[in-house]
Amino acid sequence: MFATLSDRLSAAFSSLRGKGRLSEADIEATVTEIRRALLDADVALPVVRSFTATVRERASSAEVSRALNPSQQIVKIVNEELTQILGGSARELRFAKRPPTVILLAGLQGAGKTTLAGKLGHWLRSEGHTPLLVAADLQRPNAVQQLQIVGENAGVPVWAPEPGNGTGDPVAVARTGVAHAKDRYYDVVVVDTAGRLGVDAEMMRQAADIRDAVSPDEILFVVDAMIGQDAVTTANAFAEGVGFTGVVLSKLDGDARGGAALSVAQVTGAPVLFASTGEKVTDFERFHPDRMASRILDMGDVLTLIEQAERAFDADQAEEMANKIAGDGDFTLADFLTQMQQMKQLGSMKKMLGMLPGMGQIREQLENFDEREVDRVEAIVRSMTPAERENPKILNGSRRSRIARGSGTTVTEINQLLDRFDQAKTMMRSMARNGGRGMPGGVPG
C-alpha cells in the first residue's frame, strides 16, 4: 500500500539529512520532490497544490522546534498536513437515536459495495450490534445471491426479494427491508445498491430514490482506491447525484498509487470512515487519518520518536539556558546537572535514537554515556556549598577533599567533573552564539 509514494517521500527527505539549517533553496527542492511524488501517485492537482503550498509556508516560517533537526521538522510538517488532507481526526459511524440505523452504500459497479456490506455486518456484530443486510442491487446478475453468500460468511442475515422476482423494484426492497428490521429489532440496516461501470443518470436516480425511501443515517460512498484520478470525478458525481456522508476506500491492499485516498476526502469534504483491504470479511479497518499518514510516510517509529525527543528536550528550558550563556556567561554546575539529567532521559531511548536520520552525532555521545555518571555528578554537586556551585573557581584542594568525602567519590573524579564542566561551558557559549540551535548537551565522556 502506497509503497512507491512512501519511497519517493523518504527520498525527498533524505537529501536534507545532516543539514543544520534549511535555506529557501533546500525547502524549494524538497517541496518540488514532494509535489512530483504526489502527482505520480495520482493525487488530484488541486490537492497537491494546496498541500505543497502549506508545507512550503510552514517550513519557511519561524515555526521551528529546537528539539528537531531540519529533516525531522519537514517530516513532522508533512505528516501533520497529510493527516489533515486525509480528514484530520477519525470520525465514528453515526447511529440513529431510534434504531434501526440505516446505512446506504453507493458507488460504481465493482467498487466493492457488496463485499463491504459483509465486512460492515461482521464488524457491527463484533461491536455488539444486530445488523441486517438488504439486497437492493437488482441490476447486476447474481448480486442478490452474492450478498447472500457474503452475509452467510459474515454470520449476518440478508433481506432479499423473493426468488423469481429479481427484476423487481429496488426501492420497495429497501423499504420493506427497513420495515422488517424494525419489526425484528435489527438495530442497523446496511442497504447494498446497484452501481454501473460508469456514472449514469439512471443509476443516480435509483440511488436517490432509495435514499428518499429509507432516509439513511449514513450514506457511504465506496471507491476503489485503484482507479486513480477517476476517483475524484466519480466522487464529485456521487456527491451531486446522491450526496454522501462518508467515504470507504476499498482495495487499499492492491498496488494502489494512493491518489484516491489522498484526494477524495479533501475534494468532497466527506471523511473516510473505513478502509477495505482484501477479499476476506475481516480485511477491513476503521480509517484513522493520522495512522494512515504515518503509514504513507513509512515512519511510524520515527514519528513516535520525534514526539518523545520533543518531550525530553523542553525547548523553553533549552532557550532559557542559551539566553543565560549569551547574557552573562552564567552557566553553573546546577545547569550542568540539569543537562545531564536530560541526557539520562534520552539515554533510555538510545536504541530508538539509532533509527533517526541525522541523529548520528548525539547517538555517538549517548553510546559513551554512562547513566551512573549522572548519579555521581548529582552526589558531587549536592556536596558543594551554594557558593561553590555558583563559582567552582574557589574549589581549592581542601574543598575538593571535603566534597569527595561527602559524595563518596575521589578527588580525581571531582577534577574530571570540573574539566568536563569547563568543556560544556565552552560548548554552551558557542551554541549560544549560534542562536541556541542544536541539542543542549554538555556531554561527558
Give the interface with ligand GDP as residue ranges (CB under 6 A).
Answer: 107, 109-115, 195, 250-251, 253-254, 276-279, 283
Q: Is 109 annotated as a binding residue?
A: yes
CB of 109 to ligand GDP, least distance (A): 4
Taking Cα atoms as reference points, which of 152, 117, 114, 159 lies closest to residue 134?
159
Report the residue number, 110 or 438, with the smaller CB distance to ligand GDP. Answer: 110
DSSP helix/strand/coil, 181: helix
CA–CA separation, 111 and 238 (whole Å): 13
Provide the Cα torsion 379, 383, 387, 391; round to 10°.
-50
Q: Let me know if 170 is exposed, middle or buried by CB neighbors in 10 A (0-12, 13-18, 19+).
A: buried
Farthest CA pair distance, the chain: 106
Give the strand pairing for 284-286 and 272-276: antiparallel
Element (H, E) at 131: strand 131-136
Min CB(283)–ligand GDP separation in Å: 6
- We find the least distance from the C-beta atom of residue 193 to ligand GDP, in angstroms, to be 9
C-alpha cell at 214: 429509507
| Cα→Cα distances 49→45, 53, 268, 297, 332, Å | 6, 6, 16, 19, 50
Shortest CB 211 distance to ligand GDP, Å: 17
State which residue, 137 or 290, has the beta carbon closest to ligand GDP: 137
Return the closest-CA partner of residue 78 out of 252, 254, 262, 259: 262
Shortest spacing between CB 218 and ligand GDP, in angstroms:
17
Tell whether residue 17 is among the known ligand binding residues.
no
Can you tell me the distance from the alpha carbon of 445 to that of 236, in angstroms, rounded to the nearest whole number?
62
Taking the complex as a whole, the smallest distance from the CB of residue 133 to ligand GDP amounts, in Å, to 12
Query: Please, are residues 148 and 121 in contact by the beta-carbon 8 Å criterion?
Result: no
Estimate to the nearest angstrom the gap between the alpha carbon of 81 and the chain centroid: 9
CB of 192 to ligand GDP, least distance (A): 7
Write down the least CB distance from residue 69 to ligand GDP, Å: 39
Q: Is 250 annotated as a binding residue?
A: yes
142 vs 430 by CB, closer to ligand GDP: 142
Return the C-alpha cell found at 215: 432516509
Comparing CB distances to ligand GDP, the nearer of 6 and 277 is 277
Q: Which of 248/428 has CB closer to ligand GDP? A: 248
195 appears as a binding residue in the annotation: yes
The distance of Cα 126 from the centroid of its chain, to the nearest Å, equals 26
Strand order in the sheet with 284-286: 158-159, 131-136, 188-193, 101-106, 218-224, 246-250, 272-276, 284-286
Give min distance, CB of 47 to ligand GDP, in A. 23
Q: Does 253 count as an annotated binding residue?
A: yes
233 annotated ligand binder:
no
Calculate helix-pair angle for 315-328, 411-433, nearest 10 degrees: 90
- Specify the residue, 253 or 314, whose C-beta has the smaller distance to ligand GDP: 253
Our CB check for ligand GDP shows the closer of 278 and 357 to be: 278
Residue 252 labelled as part of a binding site: yes
Select 72 or 250, whichever has its Cβ closest to ligand GDP: 250
Q: Which is nearer to ligand GDP, 108 or 403 (CB)?
A: 108
User: Which residues are CB-contacts of 278 (< 8 A; sequence separation ≥ 6)?
Assistant: 253
Q: Is residue 108 marked as binding?
A: yes
CB of 165 to ligand GDP, least distance (A): 20
219: three-class secondary structure by DSSP? strand
Quick one: DSSP state of residue 18? T
Q: Is 125 annotated as a binding residue?
A: no
Is 107 annotated to bind a ligand? Reply is yes
> Is 372 within any annotated ligand binding site?
no
Q: 253 vs 310, which CB is nearer to ligand GDP?
A: 253
Q: Is 146 annotated as a binding residue?
A: no
The grid cell for 99 is: 434504531
Binding residues: 107-114, 192-196, 250-253
Binding residues for GTP: 107-114, 192-196, 250-253
